[in-house]
Structure 1
Amino acid sequence: MPTTPKLIRETFPVGPLQCNCTIIGDPLTKKALVVDPGGNPEQIMARLEQHGLKAVSILHTHAHLDHFLASGKMKEQTGATLHLHRGDQFLWDNLEMQCQLFGVPYTSVPPPDRWLEHGEALACGCGVALHTPGHTPGSMSFWFEGAGLLIAGDTLFRRGIGRTDLWGGDARQIVRSVQQLYTLDETAVVITGHGSDTTLGEEMRENPFVRA
């Protein structure tokens, strides 16, 4: 039987706070998801072009300023739809205020086109959205079972978890969300919101904040 080509995946830090932006592309249709475009839209567009991909969806793990700064430009240049969980609408509505508080230049962005729901299939048919609140009320992770890949945003880090002392954070919720992620394939690679990749198995055994 013919094998299914592997998804195209590239992750690289962008923006003033070095958020990890990830491109997930279907090698057959050449459609792509862009997750957390936190700045440097020209760089993201260049990477898409290098892979011969067209962005159709811009996904946000949550609505903190460092995960959206290139979203407006990306939508303008590609026509891709903006996606966010409704629980973070209050943060999205106050992105300019967030930027002012952290001394980061504000780049305008239109309202989200679609609200993400737990368990919904993502564009390209290659993954699903998982609601993993705690870092923010609307924090999402994106699970690509066939590729053994989890984009966890700021919910789970290598030997860490997301902070819960910002707007809407909840320490108990983030523990429950991480435990939910631990039910997935422990061999899966985890793309974190900042810093290096890890695996679910490593975090299940060695994360000092939440163990399986």
Structure 2
Amino acid sequence: HCPIYIHHDDLFLLQDVKANLSVYEKPFVVKAPVTISEKKMQINNFEIVWLHMPGHCPGSSMIYLPKENIIFSGDVLFKGSIGRFDFPNSSKHDTNISLGKIKEFDFDAIVYPGHGASTTLQDELLNNPYL
């Protein structure tokens, strides 16, 4: 019963077990209603900036909450690493463009990746070999 938001470029992944690679494990499709993300959104008291960062998948995104100074980076950015781009719907080219966008950020924030330990943008800009 939780609202689901997604970038429109990943909508197809919710219904296609081959595209979302669940065909190799326990196949799943999302049957719940979803909402296409907007660049800026207000959900309850949260101001959300949706940062489209394709590469890992076409709709890969980082979700920035400016008032809280937090970024949920999903599979885009990890502590000391980045998301894979060797899946059928991934793109090394798009990943490189997205990393270039991250390098241009002129602020620091706490980063909570989809996997592993939290970090900060500044720490990643200084120490992440991919940046």
Same fold (TM over 0.5): yes
Structure number with the bigger relative contact order (C-alpha 8 A, sep ≥ 6) is: 2
Q: Equivalent of 1:170, from 70, 78, 91?
A: 91
Match of residue 85 from structure 1: 7
5+ residue gaps, structure 2: none
Counterpart of 2:98, as a letter, is: S
Over the residues paired in the alignment, what is the CA RMSD in angstroms?
2.0
Q: 1:123 matched to which residue of 2?
A: 43
- Identity value in percent: 28
Q: Which amino acid aligns with 1:85?
A: H
Task: Give 2:6's aligned amino acid.
Answer: L
* One of 52, 55, 67 as aligned partner of 1:134: 55
Structure 1: give runs of 5+ residues left out of the alignment: 1-74
Q: Deviations over 1:115-137 (max 9, x none)?
A: 113x2214123322111111100
Match of 2:21 among 98, 103, 113: 98
- Whole-angstrom CA distance in 2 between matches of 1:193 and 1:161: 11
Deviations 1:59-111 (A, max 9, x none): xxxxxxxxxxxxxxxx2xxxx3321111112221114772231x2x3455315
C-alpha distance in structure 1 between counterparts of 2:33 and 2:106, whole Å: 28
SS in 2 for 1:87: helix
- Residue 208 of structure 1 and its aligned partner are, at CA, apart by 0.8
Residue 74 of structure 2: aligned partner: 153
TM-superposition CA deviations, 1:127-177 (whole Å, max 9, x none) = 221111111001111101111110010000111111111132111211221
Out of 152-161 and 126-135, give the one that drifted further.
126-135
Look at both structures and tell me which one has the larger radius of gyration over its CA atoms.
1
Find the counterpart in structure 2 of residue 185 from structure 1. Answer: 107
Structure showing the higher helix proportion among its residues: 1
* Alpha-carbon separation, structure 2, partners of 1:179 and 1:111: 34
Answer whether contact 2:78 2:113 (CA < 8 A) is retained. yes
Q: Specify the alignment match of 1:109 in structure 2.
A: 30
